[in-house]
Structure 1
């Protein structure tokens, strides 16, 4: 699912300038949040990205922390504003603090082209340390939302990403590695497979995250050994073919 809003250069400029006037009074200086939102649909792993203005560059969904707001609450709010999803499992996985990340030349040039002369108190000119979260969602349930800064919200295949700004490509790769490491433990929290599912459906989810094919017998043995699945009794329908077992996550998970 993709959301595109056609925004005039004048509207884009006014929206950014309005933000610059109000941001110092609303948000904490020097700290931001970036969220890597992975989508799983049709056996594919995707990443949700936002087009930066009317440029060919994209960025991760992110934002700033209100002065009277907890960090985790800010991350959840930002994600909800971008997707309109409510019940989302978020995991903090990384803090990006490279001194050069906030001064990327391309981003500065793009901002200058969009709004002209940047005020001396420019919010974007300061150094930001970004606290990074990841989430795994069903992309069919996402309702992308655009705003003045971002004119398109789009899912991209994890292996076919567009040009991104700042260090967001590095953040995405770190998020993928963390997701791979966490998947066994956090699987039930993501709640992607419905109340019941087959072992094959579960294997396809793992293959999308690990980006490789898995041996069916080895995978089944591993998943059953984790103790997170409950196998249900088969529901026979009188047909000759053998129906697969259905599973659900054990209530103790």
Structure 2
């Protein structure tokens, strides 16, 4: 306990010296795997309590640069689709558990906890990552990173459940004009893979023929001569995104799937 308290004191000193006070960043990191949309959560040391990954902004560091740096520290990735979606600034940001309950659950030293548990304004980002490429890493406060299915997220600390809910709503709304597919799928994929991704995010079924016709009509997919192997039925063709055309379609806001 004494060693942890000393480390905690060093962390507080570092925060006061090198980071902007009272402003934090929180991340809803989405990954798509085995037909499920997942969110990366961190478990706090010595507890069964979970929260979203977060970060702080260094002095003379741009907000966006701080977000990418913090995400790299948590995921090991440098090229990540990142979208700011909301700023959380309620006076009371303890939803599932009160501040006192939170302190008790986390076992933070009471004489020091107020130094890092005071009121923060948090900038929320959502990120889209290829599940298989992520090497999750916990931070000082946490000891485990785990992917959770979007429908099985437990009660989280602070207001982080609300963050996940709003991030998913934003993702669904922006699905029509953001380059989501090539950040959540492998480089090569089938049309059913792509449709499954959209259906999972939207939470609804899409007509197969209409979906395929619309996606091919955008001119952003390149059909390969390869077919997916190992299935019981006729092997579907593999596709990949023409990223240059996709970026142009993104700039023109010509994408729409519904």
Please indicate, yes or no, whether the TM-score normalized by the shorter chain is above 0.5: yes
Aligned position for 1:219: 211
Whole-Å Cα distance in 1 between the matches of residues 52 and 119 of structure 2? 17
Whole-Å Cα distance in 2 between the matches of residues 65 and 169 of structure 1? 23
Instruction: Say which of 25, 34, 59 aligns to 1:33.
Output: 25
Residue 93 of structure 2 corresponds to residue 101 of structure 1: yes
- Which blocks of at least 5 consecutive residues in structure 1 are unaligned? 1-8
Whole-Å Cα distance in 2 between the matches of residues 22 and 104 of structure 1? 29
Aligned position for 1:182: 174
Map residues 8-157 of structure 1 onto 2, 5 A cutoff.
9=1, 11-101=3-93, 106-111=98-103, 114-119=107-112, 122-157=114-149
The alpha-carbon deviation at position 48 of structure 1 amounts to 0.4
The alpha-carbon deviation at position 102 of structure 1 amounts to 6.5
Q: What stretches of structure 1 move > 6 A for 4+ residues in a row?
A: none
Tell me the secondary structure at the aligned position of residue 95 of structure 1: strand
The alpha-carbon deviation at position 107 of structure 1 amounts to 4.1
- Which blocks of at least 5 consecutive residues in structure 2 are unaligned? 247-258
The alpha-carbon deviation at position 173 of structure 1 amounts to 0.8
The alpha-carbon deviation at position 31 of structure 1 amounts to 0.8
User: Is the 1:12–1:53 contact (alpha carbons within 8 Å) kept by the matching residues of 2?
Assistant: no
Pick 1 or 2: higher relative contact order, CA cutoff 8 A, min separation 6.
Answer: 1
Whole-Å Cα distance in 2 between the matches of residues 42 and 56 of structure 1? 26
The alpha-carbon deviation at position 230 of structure 1 amounts to 3.0
Residue deviations 1:23-65, cap 9 Å, x none?
1111101111001001111111110011123222211100110
Tell me the secondary structure at the aligned position of residue 169 of structure 1: helix
Instruction: Say which of 219, 225, 248 aligns to 2:240.
Output: 248
Aligned position for 2:250: none
Q: 1:195 to 1:129 in 2, by over 3 A?
A: same
Residue deviations 1:116-158, cap 9 Å, x none?
33249x4324321111111111222211212330121111110
The alpha-carbon deviation at position 166 of structure 1 amounts to 1.2
User: Is the 1:38–1:136 contact (alpha carbons within 8 Å) kept by the matching residues of 2?
Assistant: yes
Q: TM-score, length-normalised on structure 2?
A: 0.82
